Structure 1
Amino acid sequence: MNDIKKLAEILNADVIFLNLTTKNADYLDDTKANSNNEIINFLLTNIELLSNHQYQSLDYNSGHILTCQVTDEVIICLSFNYVDPQTNSSELMMLHSLSNLKSISQIIYTLYNFQDAPEEDVLITQFSDKKRIKTEPQQEFDPNIFFNTETEIIKSIVHSHENQLSHALTKFENLKIIGERFASNNLIRGEKDTLISYISVLNRAIVQWGYPVDLAFQLHNELVQEIELSPQFLDFFQVIREITWHYYKVIKNYRMNNFLPLHKRIKQYIKEHITENITLDDIATALNASKKTLNPAFKNEYNVTITQFIRQTKIDTAKELLIASDLTLLEISSLLSFSTNSYFVKTFKEITGITPNYFRQHFFDQHLHL
C-alpha cells in the first residue's frame, strides 16, 4: 500500500481503503481519520453500488472520489477535495487527473495486484443531496437561469461564501451547457471553448473585485494553456467544478495573505508561480519585503533555502504530470520554465536519483523510494 500512498501524495489526494465484506472504510493516513466523515459516510451508504463497476468517479460539488475495485473484497479510493486549503495543485495540474481517470485507476490496480489492470471504462456518477449515487437529469438551456446562476457563482467566489457556491454549482450542473451547443461537429472543441469563456468571465469578475490584473491574467493564461493541452474531458461538469473552486481558493488565499507570516507568504507565492522562472527579486517585489530577509525567514521555518524549495516543488509538479498526463518531457520542461529539456532531466535525476522517463515507465516498481 505504500506505493499507492506515494501515488496519492503526487496527485494531492487522500487514500481510503474500503472493505466490501466487513463494510468498513478507513483513511490509510491516520491523521485523516476524522477529517472528512462525510466522505466515509457517502462510501458506506453506497457500498453495494460501488461493487457494480471496476472503476468509478463519484462526483460531488467540491470534489470527486476515484474508486478502483482491486479484489472481490477491496476497493481503493482516491479522494480529491477541491476546497481543502492543504491541497496545493497549481493551475498547471488542475485538469490532468480528470483527463486521465482510467490510467490512474489502472495504476492503482497494478500497484495493488502486481499484474496488468483490466481494460474498463470509468463510470461517472454523482452524489445527490440525499447521499445516493445517481445522475441528475439536465434541463434544457435557459439563458436567464444560466446568467443568474453564473452571477451567484461569481458573488460566492468574491465573498468567499462556500455554502452558497456549492448550492449554485448544483444548479449550474443541471443546465445543458456542454460544448456541443457551440460546436456540434466537434464536441471537444466546443467544451474547450465553453471552459475558456467561463474562465474569462470569472477572471473579469475577480479583477473588478480588486484582484491584481497581472495575477489574474497569469491565472487565465495558465488555465487556458492546460485546457488546450487536455486531450479529452471525461467529466465536463467536474472540470467546471474544479475550476470554480480553484478561483474560490485563489481569492480566499489572496484575502488572507496579508495576515500570513513571511515564510508562509513566500511558500504561497512559489506554489502560485511554479510555472515561472522564480527569482528572489521577484519574490521580494511581490511581497514588498527586503530580499535579505527572505532566505533567513524561510530556512528557519522549513530547513531549506528558497532555491532548494523551488527546485523540489517543480520536480514534485513534474512527477504529477508524468503520472497523470500524456505530456512529453519537452512539454513538461517548457511548462515548468526549465531553460532546456536536458537541464530538466538533470535536475529531476539530482533530486530523485532517476530520470523522468524511468520514473514514468517504472512507477509500478514497488522498490522505488522517491
Structure 2
Amino acid sequence: MYEDKLTFLEKTASVDIFKYSKQGIKTILDSPKHYNHELMIRAGKLSKEGFYSLVKYNGGYMLLVPLTKDEGLILSPKIDSLNNSENSFSNIDFINHSTSLAKLTYFLYTMKSAPNWNLVIFNLNEISDPVKQIQPMKNLSDFHRFANKMVDFFARLDEKNFKIYINKMKKCQVFGNALTTDNIIRGEKDILIDIISKLTDRAAKEGLPFERDVYIQSISVQKIELQANILNFNGWLEEIPYAYFNELKKWRENLFIDKADKIEHYLKINSRENIKLKDISSELEISEQSLNAIFKKKYGTTIKQYLTQLKIENAKELLTTTQLKIHDISEYLSFVDESYFISTFNKACGMTPSKYRQKYIEKLLNKKSV
C-alpha cells in the first residue's frame, strides 16, 4: 500500500504530505497534521500539470506534485518554531532536493515512473510569473550590478529594496539547467560563493560578530561545494542572502533591547521547546541566578509562568485551526505528558482543551446558522 511507503517518506524526509483537489485539502495518512488549510488551497491553485512547483510563503516552501489536471500532492516541511538564519539553510536543503523528492513521491503514490518535469518557483506573497529553472546564460554584468545594490540594502536592513534586487538578480537569467558542458556547474557555484564573499565582507563592516559571520560563510560554502550540481539556482540565490539578512537584523535588534527584552524574545521564538534556565543563560550570556530577577522586574512574572502562558496561547491556536489530537499538541509543545498539559490548560482557561475546542466549533456553527 502506498500509505506505508508515504509514511516512511514523511519520516525520512521530515515532511507532511497532503492531497489537493477541487474538493479542497486533505491529509493522505491517518494521523492529522498541523497545517494552514487556506494557504494550501491558494498554493494548490498555482499547480500546473507538466511542472513540479515550489511555492514560497513567508519563510518556507511547499512542494507541489501534480497527479492529474485538477489534483496532486503537497509536501510541507515539518514545522520549525525558529525564525532565523538556520531556516534559510533548511530551505536551501529542501530546494536542492525538491525535484528528486517530487519524483520519488509521485512514484510511491502512483507506482508509476515519475515524469521528467521541470521545476518552477512561485512566491505566494507576490504576483509574478513563475521562475523557471531552465535559463540561458546572459546578462552577467547586470547581475553583478544588482548584486552590489542588494548588498547595499542588506547593510541598511532595507528589506523592501533588498528583496527587489534579489528579484532583479533572478530575472537576469544568468544560469539555467545544471548542464555539464562548459563547466556551468562550477560557474553557478562560483557566482554563489562570490555573493557569499560580498555579504560576509559587508556584514563584518557593519559589526556582525566575527564568529557568526564566519559561521554563515562556512556553512553556506560547504553546502554549495557538497552539491554535485546546483539545482534550482534561483532558490539558492534568495535563501543565502536571507541567511545573512536575518542574522544581521537579529544582532542589531539585540543591541538596542535590554536584558529582560532579550529573555522575552528568546522565550517567544522558542516557546514550543522545553526551555531551561541554563539554556537561556548560555544563549544570552546572562547569569542563570539573575535571570528571573531581571525578567520579573520588567514583566511582573517568572520565566516559567510566562513560558506557560505562551504555550497555552499556542495550544489555543492549534486547537482551533487544526485537527491535531490533544496528545499530539501536548507533545508538540513539549509538555511533560498529556495529563500535565490538560491540567495546566484547565487551570489557565477554566476548561479542558477538548472542551475549549468543542466550544469554538459550536460558536462557528452558530455563526453559520444565523
Instruction: Verify same fold: TM over 0.5.
Output: yes
**Amino acid aligned to 1:98:** I
Structure 1 partner of 2:263 = 262
**Could you say if the C-alpha distance between residues 256 and 12 of structure 1 is closer, same or farther in structure 2, counting changes exceeding 3 Å?**
farther
**Equivalent residue for 1:99, pick from 96, 99, 122:** 96
Structure 2 contact 135–176 (Cα < 8 Å) conserved: no
Deviations 1:115-142 (A, max 9, x none): 6452333412244865454649778325
Structure 2 contact 67–106 (Cα < 8 Å) conserved: yes
Deviations 1:15-56 (A, max 9, x none): 66420xx2645898566245x5xx744542x45xx1234x34
**Could you say if the C-alpha distance between residues 71 and 223 of structure 1 is closer, same or farther in structure 2, counting changes exceeding 3 Å?**
same
Structure 1 partner of 2:120 = 125
Deviations 1:75-126 (A, max 9, x none): 1223579xx9647745754532222223322453466x3x645233341224
| Bigger relative contact order (CA 8 A; separation at least 6) | 1
**Amino acid aligned to 1:262:** I
**Could you say if the C-alpha distance between residues 247 and 165 of structure 1 is closer, same or farther in structure 2, counting changes exceeding 3 Å?**
same
**Could you say if the C-alpha distance between residues 2 and 89 of structure 1 is closer, same or farther in structure 2, counting changes exceeding 3 Å?**
farther
Structure 2 partner of 1:324 = none
Aligned residue runs from structure 1 range 76-95, under 5 A: 76-78=73-75, 86=83, 89=86, 93-95=90-92
TM-score, normalised by the number of residues in structure 2: 0.57
Structure 2 partner of 1:215 = 212
Deviation at 1:208, TM superposition (A): 1.1
Deviations 1:230-263 (A, max 9, x none): 2222211211111122222222222334544437
Distance 1:95 1:109 in 2: 22
**Amino acid aligned to 2:20:** L
Provide the secondary structure at the position in 2 that maps to 1:77.
strand
TM-score, normalised by the number of residues in structure 1: 0.57
Structure 2 partner of 1:232 = 229
Deviation at 1:216, TM superposition (A): 0.2
Structure with larger Rg = 2
Distance 1:186 1:298 in 2: 55
Corresponding position: 1:52 with 2:53: no
Identical columns (%): 20
**Could you say if the C-alpha distance between residues 164 and 289 of structure 1 is closer, same or farther in structure 2, counting changes exceeding 3 Å?**
same
**Equivalent residue for 2:36, pick from 16, 32, 38:** 32
Distance 1:40 1:160 in 2: 32
**Amino acid aligned to 1:105:** A
Structure 2 partner of 1:252 = 249
Deviations 1:141-200 (A, max 9, x none): 253x334412331233233333222221221112243399xx963222222222111101
Structure 2 partner of 1:365 = none
Provide the secondary structure at the position in 2 that maps to 1:18.
strand
Structure 1 contact 16–78 (Cα < 8 Å) conserved: yes
Structure 2 partner of 1:18 = 20
**Amino acid aligned to 2:113:** P
Distance 2:88 2:210 in 1: 17
Structure 2 partner of 1:192 = 189
